[in-house]
């Protein structure tokens, strides 16, 4: 039951990288704060309302991906090289996210290119997460005892998240950045899908639902 | 009594995000250091004295909010999704703070807009902290045994902090950035209010006061 | 068997520094995202394809060095001042890496200077890692019991990595940035070398290979 | 003997802040890497040799201060509000250090102003460290059992470090940035002073010297 030092360290390292990527998202906004030298704060806020929205969206996306990652890793007692490599791929996607976020912030003509870049990045993160879940399912000795159900659930969640990201990417081909609000539906859709799957598969087990 | 892995990880993640947000506060000053190419260091320091003050103020604000967060989370043995979401909202406020700090730094005409943006950000952090405390009070199974008093105290503190922030926000409508020094009174006011409430509610219990 | 507080703290600190250095690698790309103000995203991506590649390369390099560091430190129960100093030298190399990465990103004429600077930085990291391994081999009381083989293996790996980096540095004298793709061969070469050495030295021991 | 959650969290938070401040030191150099757009890498390195030196110096200073901090906190089992506040003051000094480092980097005429700002920052860090040590000495219940000697040693070290920093600050009044190389002597002087004091006070105790 005792988690290995490698797992502890990989987890702490991952959390550190995510925490920094999350914080770097704000840098383009710190940069636009310079405009306060020449215009009123009211104009600044009005003009950059869309950039504030892009920041909040990326912040929410990273936070949600991190919560999913936490739940997936909660099923482990140890990690191997394969999980480490897939985790690095996941981190690459998270670390890169400030770039498409900044493109969304700076882009003026609001074509679909910025949205496609952004969604491609989210697909990379979701797909790496799915591959991580599949790898964990295949490596039973690395799992905490009695966690096979949670591992299966993580795989199902990964499939849903990846599909939703790909669907939004395709929608962005036609709708450009109007597709982005669809992402707001995702946590709701996923919660609904999970609840249904959960009830179908194990009608009695609801232990980690009762908690706040 | 053993804290859950989710709690450990959420705490470490939160600390990481706060540590980075704290450090990013210095970036606009690193940026102004470029002026050393064209003017003497003495002029640089004199000219940017207000920006140094804004940095120290935000540093103090984040440090205090972090200490409060630490005390609130010290009452927990586990966390649920609700606490995670509220914690993300709290983190959003902390991560965003470098933006209004930079606006205060760069703004020239010192209107009240920059101060209102800054105070609105502090209200968001304080309010998220209060909601976190209320959520924790409602989720008794997540609390460490024998901590109900500390949980109540955290709620009282959250109410005081939020009220003080809203009051300063209102004051800023009339006083602009002259309202900001009021924040310096807050720790004193809060310490006084706490000491009084503490004595009134549990005249004998002073265990966590004796320590350094 | 219990690891000392100094080791725990040095490890966490190292992970933090690496996590940040990894994330800072993306900053020049966030900076180039500003060009989205004046050109299409498609042009932006095409124009900066080489910079994206430089980012991914440095990300992979830091990730691999970190995995090696993790394995080396997994053999310790405590650390001394010598290991701390060598670890600081290793960290200095990691923290500096964003500079040559940015030089590779911004440099236009693609001379060999940028590649030499980059490879010199990698040699510094690999060499510090090798010195760390040697120091650990010489300090038996700091080692976890039963880890002498793993310690020897770490030294062998350090020699291979340092040699490969020096070889690529020399190759860059003639090939300029065409030498960089050679780095992609390194993990493969190292894996092969390790597998051979592993079989030769301890034909039966394969415990940490079975895991994920 | 078990360290409190507050201590664990304060330590992790401090390590995070230091790790980030350490990494931010490289940002002005990443910025100068842009000059690679217009000049050769050889010229870039030659021109910015002094800036590279400033980076390495600040890196070494932060690393040494962190090692001292680690040793001081190694004597604790718990922390109180006083230690937290003094620790925040120490962190303020560390977080601010990128600013004088950037001033040293960008400043052209090499007057003494930049050096005085830099040394004033180091005095702030050293002084906060000394006050932390004194506070810990006065709070015996927070100390790990049997650590009173190490606590006294930390105070002595703090006095030496603060004195050396003040002396260099005074020297900078006359020598400008020629005083900075004096800092390189400090670790040697301190090691010598410690060894002498160590032998004088406890001729037999050398346990933490034998380790690596």
Residues B131-180: tens digit of each pLDDT? 999 999 999 888 988 888 888 988 988 898 898 889 889 988 888 777 77
- The residue in chain A having the minimum alpha-carbon distance to the alpha carbon of residue B116 is A41
C-beta atoms of B211 and D139 within 8 A: yes
C-beta atoms of C106 and D37 within 8 A: yes
Q: With beta carbons less than 8 A apart as the criterion, state whether D154 and D71 touch.
A: yes
Number of Cβ within 10 Å of residue C186's Cβ equals 18
pLDDT number for residue D39: 80
Give the range among A4-13, C125-134, D100-109 with minimum mean pLDDT.
D100-109
Q: C210 contacts in A (CB within 8 Å)?
A: 141
D95 closest CA partner among B19, C27, C99, B61:
B19
Q: Angle, to 10 degrees, between the axis of helix B5-24 and the axis of helix A49-73?
A: 150
- Higher pLDDT, residue B96 or B175: B96
Q: What is the mean pLDDT of chain C?
A: 82
pLDDT number for residue C96: 92
Cα–Cα separations (whole angstroms), residue C44 to A101, C35, D49, D177: 14, 7, 33, 43
pLDDT number for residue A205: 47
CA atoms within 13 A on the CB side of B40: 7
- Alpha-carbon span D64 to B100, nearest angstrom: 33
Q: With beta carbons less than 8 A apart as the criterion, state whether C77 and C1 touch.
A: yes
Q: A24 contacts in C (CB within 8 Å)?
A: 23, 26-27, 30
Q: With beta carbons less than 8 A apart as the criterion, state whether C6 and C79 touch.
A: yes
DSSP string, chain C: -PPPHHHHHHHHHHHHHHHHHHHHTTHHHHHHGGGGGTS-HHHHHHHTHHHHHHHHHHHHHHHHHHHHHHHHHTTBS---HHHHHHHHHHHHHHHHTHHHHHHHHH-SS--HHHHHHHHHHHHHHHHHHHHHHHHHHH-GGGBPTT-HHHHHHHHHHHHHHHHHHHHHHHHHHHHGGGGTTHHHHHHHHHHHHHHHHHHHH-SS--HHHH--
Q: Please tell me which of the candidates D20, D80, D92 has its beta carbon nearest to residue B59.
A: D92
Q: What is the mean pLDDT of chain B?
A: 82
- The residue in chain A having the minimum alpha-carbon distance to the alpha carbon of residue B17 is A19
- Higher pLDDT, residue B188 or C14: C14
Residue A211 pLDDT more than 70?
Answer: no
Query: Tokens 């800023």, residue?
Result: B172
Q: With beta carbons less than 8 A apart as the criterion, state whether B25 and B58 touch.
A: yes
Rounded to an integer, the average pLDDT of A120-127 is 94
Rounded to an integer, the average pLDDT of C58-86 is 88
C-beta atoms of A212 and B5 within 8 A: no
Q: Please tell me which of the candidates D26, D60, D63 has its beta carbon nearest to residue C99.
A: D26
The alpha carbon dihedral of B151, B152, B158, B160 has a sign of negative
The 10s digit of each residue's pLDDT in D190-201 is 667 666 666 665
The 10s digit of each residue's pLDDT in A52-90 is 888 888 898 888 888 888 888 888 888 888 898 899 999
Q: First vs last Cα of chain C: how many Å apart?
A: 24
Interface test with chain B among A1, A23, A48, by most B beta carbons within 10 Å: A23
The 10s digit of each residue's pLDDT in D171-185 is 888 887 777 777 777
Give the range among A57-66, A99-108, C133-142, D203-212 with minimum mean pLDDT.
D203-212
pLDDT number for residue C198: 60
Q: Please tell me which of the candidates C3, C22, C212 has its beta carbon nearest to residue A82.
A: C212
Q: A25 contacts in B (CB within 8 Å)?
A: 95
A143 DSSP β-pair partners:
A76
Q: Please tell me which of the candidates B33, B55, B70 has its beta carbon nearest to residue D103.
A: B33
Q: With beta carbons less than 8 A apart as the criterion, state whether C38 and D40 touch.
A: no
Residues in chain D whose Cβ is within 8 Å of chain C: 3, 11-12, 15-16, 18-20, 22-23, 25-27, 29-30, 33-37, 40-42, 44-45, 55-56, 59-60, 63, 66-67, 70, 74, 210-212
- The residue in chain B having the minimum alpha-carbon distance to the alpha carbon of residue A212 is B80
Q: B96 contacts in A (CB within 8 Å)?
A: 26, 29, 55
- Alpha-carbon span A17 to C23, nearest angstrom: 7
Q: Please tell me which of the candidates C9, C83, C98 has its beta carbon nearest to residue D15.
A: C9
The alpha carbon dihedral of A19, A25, A28, A30 has a sign of negative
Rounded to an integer, the average pLDDT of D64-80 is 88
- Alpha-carbon span A70 to A63, nearest angstrom: 10
Shortest Cα distance, chain D CAs vs residue C98, angstroms: 7
In Å, the largest CA–CA distance within chain A is 62
B15 closest CA partner among D18, D73, C84, D85:
D18
- Alpha-carbon span D184 to D117, nearest angstrom: 18
D25 closest CA partner among D90, D137, D83, D104:
D104
pLDDT number for residue C53: 84
C-beta atoms of C37 and A106 within 8 A: yes
Q: Angle, to 10 degrees, between the axis of helix C148-175 and the axis of helix C182-201?
A: 150
- Higher pLDDT, residue A28 or D155: D155
Q: How many CB pairs under 8 A join A and C?
A: 108
Residue A204 pLDDT more than 60?
Answer: no
- Alpha-carbon span C105 to B132, nearest angstrom: 44
DSSP string, A147-197: -HHHHHHHHHHHHHHHHHHHHHHHHHHHHGGGGTTHHHHHHHHHHHHHHHH
Q: C19 contacts in A (CB within 8 Å)?
A: 13, 16-17, 19-20
CA atoms within 13 A on the CB side of D162: 18
C-beta atoms of C83 and D212 within 8 A: yes
Q: C91 contacts in D (CB within 8 Å)?
A: 22, 63
User: To 5 degrees, how large is the angle CA B147–CA B151–CA B153?
Assistant: 120
Residues in chain A whose Cβ is within 8 Å of chain B: 3, 11-12, 15-16, 18-20, 22-23, 25-27, 29-30, 33-37, 40-42, 44-45, 55-56, 59-60, 63, 66-67, 70, 74, 210-212
C-beta atoms of D103 and B212 within 8 A: no
What token pair was written down for D147? 């650590």
Q: Please tell me which of the candidates A42, A55, A70 has its beta carbon nearest to residue B9.
A: A70
CA atoms within 13 A on the CB side of B55: 22
What token pair was written down for D202? 């406890």
C-beta atoms of C212 and A88 within 8 A: no
The 10s digit of each residue's pLDDT in C171-201 is 888 887 777 777 777 767 667 766 676 666 5
What subunits touch chain D, counting only 3 or more CB pairs under 8 A? B, C
Q: With beta carbons less than 8 A apart as the criterion, state whether C87 and D67 touch.
A: no
Q: With beta carbons less than 8 A apart as the criterion, state whether A99 and A124 touch.
A: no
List b or e across C55-78, with b for residues whose CB sees 16 or more CB atoms inside 10 angstroms. Answer: bebbbbbbbbbbbbbbbbbbbbeb
A95 closest CA partner among D94, C38, C98, D29:
C98
The proportion of chain A whose per-residue pLDDT surpasses 70, expressed as a percent, equals 85
- Alpha-carbon span B50 to C137, nearest angstrom: 53
Rounded to an integer, the average pLDDT of A98-105 is 85
C-beta atoms of C63 and A12 within 8 A: no
Residues ≥6 apart with Cβ < 8 Å to B49: none
C-beta atoms of C74 and A111 within 8 A: no
Query: Tokens 């979701």, residue?
Result: A126
The 10s digit of each residue's pLDDT in A28-50 is 888 788 777 778 888 888 888 87
Query: Tokens 């500390």, residue?
Result: B150
Q: C117 contacts in D (CB within 8 Å)?
A: 41, 45
- The residue in chain C having the minimum alpha-carbon distance to the alpha carbon of residue D21 is C17
Interface test with chain B among A1, A4, A36, A191, by most B beta carbons within 10 Å: A36
Interface test with chain A among C12, C23, C59, by most A beta carbons within 10 Å: C23
Residue D119 pLDDT more than 70?
Answer: yes
What token pair was written down for A57? 């969206």
Cα–Cα separations (whole angstroms), residue C179 to C101, C114, C120, C171, D209: 15, 12, 13, 6, 45
Query: Tokens 């912030």, residue?
Result: A105
Residues in chain C whose Cβ is within 8 Å of chain A: 3, 11-12, 15-16, 18-20, 22-23, 25-27, 29-30, 33-37, 40-42, 44-45, 55-56, 59-60, 63, 66-67, 70, 74, 210-212
User: To 5 degrees, how large is the angle CA A58–CA C62–CA C100?
Assistant: 95
The proportion of chain A whose per-residue pLDDT surpasses 90, expressed as a percent, equals 17
Distance of CA C23 to the CA centre of its chain: 15
pLDDT number for residue D193: 67
The 10s digit of each residue's pLDDT in C148-161 is 888 998 898 889 88
Residue C36 pLDDT more than 60?
Answer: yes
Residue C207 pLDDT more than 50?
Answer: no
- Read off the pLDDT band of A199 (50, 70, 90): low
Q: With beta carbons less than 8 A apart as the criterion, state whether A22 and B17 touch.
A: yes
What token pair was written down for D96? 């601010």
Give the range among A27-36, B180-189, C77-86, C124-133 with minimum mean pLDDT.
B180-189
- Higher pLDDT, residue A132 or B50: A132
Distance of CA D95 to the CA centre of its chain: 11
List b or e across B12-30, with b for residues whose CB sees 16 or more CB atoms inside 10 angstroms. Answer: bbbbbbbbbbbbbbbbbbb
pLDDT number for residue A161: 86
Residue A97 pLDDT more than 80?
Answer: yes
- Higher pLDDT, residue D184 or B58: B58
- Read off the pLDDT band of C203 (50, 70, 90): low
Three-class SS state of D143 = strand
Shortest Cα distance, chain C CAs vs residue D41, angstroms: 5
In Å, the largest CA–CA distance within chain B is 62
């Amino acid at each position: 039951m005792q988690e290995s030092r490698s797992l502890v360290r990989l987890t702490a390292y991952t959390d550190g990288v995510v925490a920094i990527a999350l914080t770097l998202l704000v840098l383009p906004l710190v940069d636009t704060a310079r405009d306060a030298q020449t215009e009123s704060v009211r104009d600044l806020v009005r003009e950059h309302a869309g950039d504030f929205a892009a920041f909040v969206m990326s912040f929410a996306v990273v936070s949600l991906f991190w919560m999913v990652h936490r739940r997936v890793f909660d099923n482990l007692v140890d990690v191997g090289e394969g999980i480490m490599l897939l985790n690095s791929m996941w981190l690459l996607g998270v670390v890169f996210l400030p770039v498409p976020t900044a493109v969304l912030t700076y882009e003026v003509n609001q074509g679909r290119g910025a949205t496609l870049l952004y969604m491609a990045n989210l697909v990379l993160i979701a797909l790496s997460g799915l591959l991580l879940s599949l790898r964990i399912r295949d490596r039973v000795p690395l799992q905490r005892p009695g966690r096979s159900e949670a591992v299966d659930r993580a795989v199902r969640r990964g499939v849903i998240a990846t599909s939703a990201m790909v669907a939004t990417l395709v929608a962005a081909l036609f709708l450009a950045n109007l597709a982005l609000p669809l992402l707001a539906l995702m946590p709701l859709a996923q919660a609904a899908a999970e609840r249904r799957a959960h009830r179908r598969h194990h009608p009695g087990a609801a232990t980690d639902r009762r908690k706040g």
